[in-house]
Amino acid sequence: MSIDATDRRIIAATQAGLPLVPEPYAALADALGMDEAALCDRLRAMQERGIIRRIALAPNHYALGMVANGMSVWDVDDARIADLGPRIGALDFVSHCYERPRALPEWRYNLFAMIHGASRDEVEHKRARIKAILGDACRADDILYSTRILKKTGLRLRQKEG
């Protein structure tokens, strides 16, 4: 699936964020020299195709007091990860959950689950719940706390046509 030059221009124009004005799509359409209705149709179409996951706000966890942010990592039996992964992903405190390749010998973990909390105690409590679900399918685990956001911008498109 791909996007055409017009979709690309729309995406590029929204990457710094939507304008905080009463009619943001009209403002955006003006800036792009487009009709507002046509712009909105394209945004909806891109959302339906899954190119735009959603139009939404991303808060800064730290500013909200979610100061503990742990990337929990698990070495899960390959034969059981397909069954167990969705159970971890369904937990309401897990924001992202992925199976990723190991990088042996340096990195043995194949399941990554991001846990956020107001304190490390809270995160550790949530981590224990994951551990209980994985049971003996988990051979080792660790958690990597973030200490600083070094960059956060989202996907940027190159300024090219087509």
x/- track of binding to another protein for residues 43-72 (CB under 8 A): xx-xx-xxxxxxxxxxxxx-xx-x----x-
Residue 16 binds another protein, judged by CB under 8 A: yes
Find the angle CA(76)-CA(79)-CA(85) to the nearest 5 degrees. Answer: 55
If one asks whether residue 156 binds another protein (CB under 8 A), the answer comes out as yes
In the bound state with another protein, the residue whose beta carbon lies nearer, of 63 and 132, is: 63
Residue closer to another protein by CB (options 87, 139) is 87
| 22 forms part of the interface with another protein (CB under 8 A) | yes
What's the min distance (Å) between Cβ of 1 and another protein? Answer: 6
83-112: contacts with another protein (CB under 8 A): 85-86, 88-90, 94-101, 103, 106-107, 110, 112
Taking the complex as a whole, the smallest distance from the CB of residue 113 to another protein amounts, in Å, to 8
> Judged by CB under 8 A, does residue 153 bind another protein?
yes
Residue 29's SS3 state is helix
CB neighbour class for 96 (10 Å; exposed up to 12, middle 13-18, buried from 19): exposed
DSSP string computed for 74-90:
EEE-TTTHHHHHHHHHT
Residues near another protein (CB under 8 A), total: 76
Mapped onto helix, strand or coil, the DSSP state of residue 8 is helix
**Can residue 148 be called a binding residue for another protein (CB under 8 A)?**
yes
Are 69 and 61 a contacting pair, CB within 8 Å? yes
**Contact call for residue 145 and another protein (CB under 8 A):** yes
The answer to whether the CB of 130 falls within 8 A of the CB of 57 is no
Q: Six-digit token pair at 162?
A: 């087509």
